[in-house]
């Protein structure tokens, strides 16, 4: 049986272990979405992860939903990311870019010329986001036109090209946690009556068209997708998650996506209920490919899901924030640094690059 510390094959990539770093929003980019000066050090410190999936990165100015999050659609942004990927590669690491559009989880103050956020339907979320004024209720979105949808698909394709130019090893499409693609997938937020609404097949259309568009830039062995089928974070829900996501998993298997990365719940995000956990186990049967789990896993829990065959790798969020050398700490069963939530979102090097490695303790 594989252990967390065994190497694994992901497409054409050989990864050093099965302890992955998931996307972790840190809000340390500038107002133009360009990564900060300490980001390269931050990611390089964590290069011993089997795979780093970089923080959620917006594909356009209209895809932004939080203050100081990075983008991957301008030359300046791309150049900043290239410095990061080069540094990670010099440390022997592997890094994917997560492509993100927040949809309705945004605020007019964060968008160009105070525009309304975009969404499948004009339904305001019962949620908040972070702006220059601190936490604020998200703004009322407008329903996307067919032209908006096609523009957004091209935004994902352009961002995928920028990610390739920036030296990433692959990309992850963010289709989880109540953001734009998830809003199209789930029937609570998608009340359209055109080809992008109604049936599960129609609600999945945007995701699959985005996948096909970025596949024109990247081979399928370099494209993963993140989901959270049973999570209600950001006021999201589906009346039949088993049916909806079974269809999507099957379509992505047909397209030979390199992995699925499934969020089962974590601190700060709603946990799956017992019913939800049962649905996740049923959904797992619809996906025969590489499967990454994310949740409140510790060392033993992570090993258990590998031993049972339920997962092929485990992504650890908060532990990686506070422990840059997490794989080595887990291997030695050493004490972990305690993360400081007050420094998670925004700030300087405190709580970002100053957590000590085991050898420094």
Active-site residue numbers?
179
Residue 25's H or E segment, with its range, is none
Place of tokens 């908060």: 318
**Bridging pattern class, strands 259-263 and 19-20:** unpaired
Tokens of 134: 């601190």
Distance CA 225, CA 259 (A): 7
128 beta partners: 137
Distance CA 125, CA 127 (A): 5
Residue 69 CA: distances (Å) to CA of 55, 61, 148, 260, 330? 9, 11, 22, 24, 30
Q: What is the DSSP string of 264-322?
A: --BTTBPPP-HHHHHHHHHHHTT--S-EEEESS--HHHHHHHHHTTS-SEEE-SHHHHH
């Amino acid at each position: 049986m594989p252990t967390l510390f065994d190497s694994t094959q992901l497409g054409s990539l050989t990864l050093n272990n099965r302890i992955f770093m998931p996307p972790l929003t840190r809000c340390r980019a500038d107002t133009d979405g360009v990564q900060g000066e300490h980001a390269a050090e931050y990611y390089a410190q964590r290069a011993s992860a089997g795979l780093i999936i970089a923080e959620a990165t917006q594909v356009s100015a209209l895809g932004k939903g939080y203050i100081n999050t990075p983008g991957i659609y301008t030359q300046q942004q791309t150049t900043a990311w290239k410095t990061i990927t080069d540094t990670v590669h010099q440390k022997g690491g592997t890094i994917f870019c997560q492509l993100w559009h927040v949809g309705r989880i945004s605020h007019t103050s964060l968008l160009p010329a105070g525009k309304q956020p975009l969404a499948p339907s004009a339904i305001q979320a019962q949620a908040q986001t972070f702006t220059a004024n601190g936490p604020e209720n998200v703004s009322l979105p407008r329903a996307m036109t067919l032209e908006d949808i096609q523009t957004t698909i091209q935004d994902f394709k352009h961002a995928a090209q920028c990610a390739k130019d920036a030296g990433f090893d692959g990309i992850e499409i963010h289709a989880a946690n109540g953001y734009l693609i998830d809003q199209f997938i789930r029937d609570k937020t998608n009340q359209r009556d055109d080809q992008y609404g109604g049936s599960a097949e129609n609600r999945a259309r945007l995701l699959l068209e985005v996948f096909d568009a970025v596949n024109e830039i990247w081979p399928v062995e370099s494209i993963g997708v993140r989901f959270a089928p049973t999570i209600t974070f950001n006021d999201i829900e589906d009346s039949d998650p088993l049916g909806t996501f079974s269809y999507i998993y099957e379509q992505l298997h047909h397209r030979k996506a390199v992995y699925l990365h499934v969020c089962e719940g974590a601190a700060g995000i709603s946990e799956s209920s017992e019913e939800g956990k049962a649905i996740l186990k049923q959904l797992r049967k619809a996906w025969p490919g590489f499967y990454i789990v994310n949740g409140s896993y510790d060392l033993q829990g992570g090993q258990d899901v590998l031993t049972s065959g339920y997962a092929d790798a485990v992504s650890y969020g908060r532990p990686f924030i506070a422990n840059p050398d997490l794989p080595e700490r887990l291997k030695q069963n050493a004490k972990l640094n305690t993360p400081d939530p007050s420094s998670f979102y925004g700030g300087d090097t405190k709580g970002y690059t100053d957590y000590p490695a085991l050898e420094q303790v």
